[in-house]
Amino acid sequence: MSSAGEGLSRPLPEQVRLHVVDLAAQVLSSVPAANVPPPLRGIAKFDPRKRAKLGGTPIAAQLETDKEFREVVAEALAAGWPELVASLAEGNVPPAAEPVLVAAAAYLTRPPGWPDMVETAREDLERVAAAAEGAAYEQTVTRLREQLATQKASAKEETDRLREQLKSFRSENADLRRKLHEARERVRAADARATELEHAADEARAAAASAGSAGDSELRRTRDRLADAERQLEAQRRAAREGRSVEDARVRVLLDALQDASAGLRRELALPSTISRPADSVTGVSPDRPGVRAVPARALADDDPALLDQLLGLPQIHLIIDGYNVTKTGYGTLTLADQRSRLLTGLGGLVAQTRVEVTCVFDGAELNGPVPVTAPRGVRVMFSAPGQIADDLIRQLVRAEPVGRAMAVVSSDREVAESVRRMGARPVKSSLLLRRLGRA
């Protein structure tokens, strides 16, 4: 064992820390209750499968500060890996040993030079991670290139097809323009002919007036010619109007065809007609099937009563709520069903007042069957899936939002608050929401 003054210059690698915590969580089951360190007595009562996950931070802190507890865990490790522990005690690191196991054994047993052993294991892990990341990057680049080539080929085929359609439409449009021009020429000829007939009628009338004394028979003949001229004029005008109507109908048919073609193209390209919210894309468990870069606000503390009111006034803010964290803070003596009902009722009133987007997330790990939950209008209710905690679902909702959108996460869990703050959301303590609901 090394001296007490010897230590690490940097924290344990995450893989090593998880391995050490998991081993310590298993050892807690075999330690007599009287010998369990006081800070870990509550964690020792947890289910063994949840002990390392829910009590990881206290266990790691106890291993760092409690030498006796660390030695108990080291003895369990030595019982399982006696050759490795003996080799490390002699200052030798087996070449084929896993870096995570070497670092965990060195940290717990603390042979001479154990910090160097941990740092060497850290370097090995970093090299392995870098190699894996490089391989994954190459695979991603290759896959994206193949997808790009496929998309380019598809786009080229679609472009060629559309060009052929456009060429056909242009040819048909040119033919219709030609026919329209011919119809207009016929109309102009008919108008000219009508003008000539009108002149002839005027001349006939003048001749009839000057030759009035020639007799009634000549007058009748003149009137007949005039009537014929007027009938011809009306017939030609009617023919001209009918010609214009036919050409206008053809133009309208062409426009309708173009409109139908554009609608068909939209369906073929599968262009969306509606836009969903980013939070709708996050997968959770529905109640009946269990299974901004810094939000702009004045410099208010996280526990300032005015913080939540100011955030609710931001445009298009998304309010994400850690359901059980709020209910157990405000009315933890009620049953879970009553807690959910009371919180959702209050959130329904809040949405009616502020019109903000609200998502309430509950931990679904304790659900054994369908949950009768009636979400108020405007409140999205989600349960975490089996094997997932509500904290992870909250982080997934935050990641789904676009960069720059205003987001606020209501939770008094320090780990949740710090993680969502790094992701661009503003954390809000549960007590502020309870105070706001009580005021409403």
pLDDT tens digit sequence for 7-27:
676 777 877 878 778 877 777
Whether residue 172 is predicted with pLDDT greater than 80 in this model: the reply is: yes
Return the pLDDT at 77.
78
Q: What is the structure's pLDDT at 237?
A: 82
349 vs 283, higher pLDDT: 349
Q: Is residue 33 situated within a structural domain?
A: yes
Q: Which residue has the tokens 């996460």?
A: 409
Residue 100 pLDDT greater than 90, yes or no: no
Domain boundary among 244, 268, 292: 268
Q: Report whether pLDDT(223) > 50.
A: yes
Closest CA to 205 of 228, 225, 182, 188: 225
What amino acid occupies position 52? A
Same domain, 288 and 255: no
Cβ–Cβ < 8 Å for 437, 308: no
Q: What average pLDDT does the chain have?
A: 80
Kindly state the average pLDDT of the residues 289-309: 63
- Rounded CA-CA distance 166/228 in Å is 50
Question: For the chain, how many structural domains are there in total?
Answer: 3
End residue of a domain, out of 112, 142, 172: 112
171 and 97 in a common domain = no
Is 1 within the bounds of a domain?
no
Highest mean pLDDT among 59-68, 249-258, 354-363: 354-363
pLDDT given for residue 2 in this prediction: 40
Query: Does 195 reside within a domain?
Result: yes
Burial of residue 237 (CB within 10 Å: 0-12, 13-18, 19+) is middle
> If you search the block for the tokens 């380019």, which residue do you land on?
152
Q: How confident is the model at residue 347 (pLDDT cuts 50, 70, 90)?
A: very high
For residues 428 and 409, is the Cβ–Cβ distance under 8 A?
Answer: yes
- pLDDT at residue 5 is higher than 50: no
Question: Can you tell me the mean pLDDT for 303-313?
Answer: 87
Which contiguous run of DSSP H or E holds residue 340?
helix 336-354
Q: Which two tokens stand for residue 368?
A: 């054994």
On whether both 208 and 248 belong to a single domain, the answer is yes
Rg (CA), the chain: 42
Q: Which of 93-99's residues contact partners 24+ apart within 8 Å by CB, and which partners?
A: 93/117, 93/120, 99/124, 99/125, 99/128
Residues 170 and 257 in one domain: yes
329 lies in a domain?
yes
Q: How far apart (Å, rounded) are the C-alpha atoms in residues 277 and 356?
A: 13
Name residue 358's beta-bridge partners: 319, 379
Query: Is 357 within a domain?
Result: yes
Predicted local distance difference test score (pLDDT) of residue 85: 75
Distance CA 262, CA 260 (A): 5
Q: Copy the structure tokens of residue 305.
A: 């009563």
- Do 209 and 106 lie in one domain? The reply is no
State pLDDT tens for residues 42-85: 776 777 677 767 777 887 777 777 777 777 777 777 777 777 77
pLDDT at residue number 428: 95
Q: At residue 314, does pLDDT exceed 80?
A: yes
Q: Which of the four pLDDT bands, split at 50, 70 and 90, describes residue 293?
A: very low
Per-residue pLDDT for 257 more than 60?
no
Residues 217 and 304 both lie in one domain:
no
DSSP secondary structure of 360-379 = EEE--TT--S-----PPTTE
Give the rounded percent of residues in the chain with a pLDDT score beyond 70: 82
| Whether residue 309 sits in one domain with residue 248 | no
pLDDT digit string, tens, across residues 282-292: 766 555 544 34
Q: Does residue 326 belong to any structural domain of this protein?
A: yes
Q: Choose from 73-77, 138-142, 381-385 the range with maximum mean pLDDT.
A: 381-385
Q: Do 251 and 312 belong together in one domain?
A: no
The whole-number pLDDT of residue 274 equals 47
Asked if 214 and 238 sit in the same domain, the reply is yes
**Does residue 404 lie within any of the structural domains?**
yes
Specify whether the CB–CB gap between 204 and 222 falls below 8 A: yes
Report the pLDDT averaged over residues 29-43. Answer: 73
Do residue 386 and residue 290 come from a single domain?
yes
Say if residue 309 is in the same domain as residue 429.
yes
Distance CA 429, CA 440 (A): 18
Q: What is the model's pLDDT at position 294?
A: 46
Q: Read off the pLDDT of each residue in 173-181 and give the average, rounded to a whole number.
A: 91
pLDDT digits over 204-220, tens only? Answer: 888 877 777 777 777 78
pLDDT band at 200 (very low <50, low <70, confident <90, very high): confident
Q: Is the pLDDT of residue 339 over 90?
A: yes
Question: Considering 92, 112, 132, which residue would you say is the last residue of a domain?
Answer: 112
Q: What is the predicted pLDDT for the residue at 390? A: 92
The whole domain housing 79 covers 14-112
94 CB-near residues (< 8 Å, 6+ apart) = 83, 84, 87, 102
What is the signed CA dihedral for 85, 87, 91, 94, rounded to 10 degrees? -110
Paired with 256 in beta bridges are: none
pTM of the model: 0.38
Task: List, edge to edge, every strand of the sheet that includes 357-362.
Answer: 379-383, 357-362, 318-322, 407-410, 426-428
Determine the Cα–Cα distance for residues 358 and 346; give it in Å rounded to an integer. 12
| Residue 145 maps to a domain | no
Who wins on pLDDT, 253 or 280? 280
Instruction: Report the CATH number that the domain containing residue 358 is assigned in CATH.
Output: 3.40.50
**Is the pLDDT confidence value at 275 over 70?**
no
Instruction: Please give the share of the chain, as a percent, with pLDDT higher than 90.
Output: 28
> Same domain, yes or no, for 228 and 286?
no
Residue 424 pLDDT more than 90? Answer: yes
